[in-house]
A = this chain, B = another copy of it.
Amino acid sequence: MKQAGCPLCESPGGDLVFQGAAFRVIRTDEGGFPAFYRVVWNEHVPELSDLAPADRALCLDAVVAVEQSLRAHLHPAKVNLATLGNMVPHLHWHVIARFEWDSHFPAPVWAAARREAPPAQLARVAALRPLLAADMVRQLSTLAPANPRR
């Protein structure tokens, strides 16, 4: 069910990395964070607990798959996971690789910036993104049914 006026009902919400029947994964360009992904549940539901247990498990498996790809390919200092949705109450998970050199570390990405991220580091991560995306697709394809479920 689509919600009129909801940006995540009306558009992918970023560069589409993987489109599944129940969820999609997008990459978003957020300044000093070169590996900022989102797992977006396709259906418009506000809260994680609105999902039935099997869907919740699938959604979290997708989040974990993205996290595992980030860890395997980028070796970040930390992975940050969050679903807030105060502005856009359509279930989406931020899955963010964090680096000591990023614009905010160790502060949350929503706090004030502490520095400019070094362009060479940003470029190094950007160069790894195609391989990273291929790995995400490979992992997510094993989770998500090829045929629409709904």
Query: Interface 1/0s, chain A 88-106, versus B by CB < 8 A?
Result: 0100000000100000011
Q: Which residues on the B side are within 8 Å of A60 (C-beta)?
A: 56-57, 60
Q: Is A141 an interface residue (CB 8 A)?
A: no
Check B67–A78 contact: CB distance below 8 A.
no
A83 CB, nearest partner CB in chain B, Å = 5
Check B64–A86 contact: CB distance below 8 A.
no
Given A64-B56, A81-B48, verify A86-B71 contact (CB < 8 Å).
Answer: no
Copies in the complex: 2
Q: Is A107 an interface residue (CB 8 A)?
A: yes
Query: Interface 1/0s, chain A 49-84, versus B by CB < 8 A?
Result: 100000011001001100110010000011111111
Q: Which residues on the B side are within 8 Å of A112 (C-beta)?
A: 112
Check B49–A64 contact: CB distance below 8 A.
yes
A81 CB, nearest partner CB in chain B, Å = 5
A107 CB, nearest partner CB in chain B, Å = 7
Check B89–A67 contact: CB distance below 8 A.
no
Check A71–B83 contact: CB distance below 8 A.
no
Q: Which residues on the B side are within 8 Å of A83 (C-beta)?
A: 80-82
Determine which of B46, B48, B79, B106 lies in contact with A47 in the assembled complex, contact meaning CB atoms within 8 Å: B79
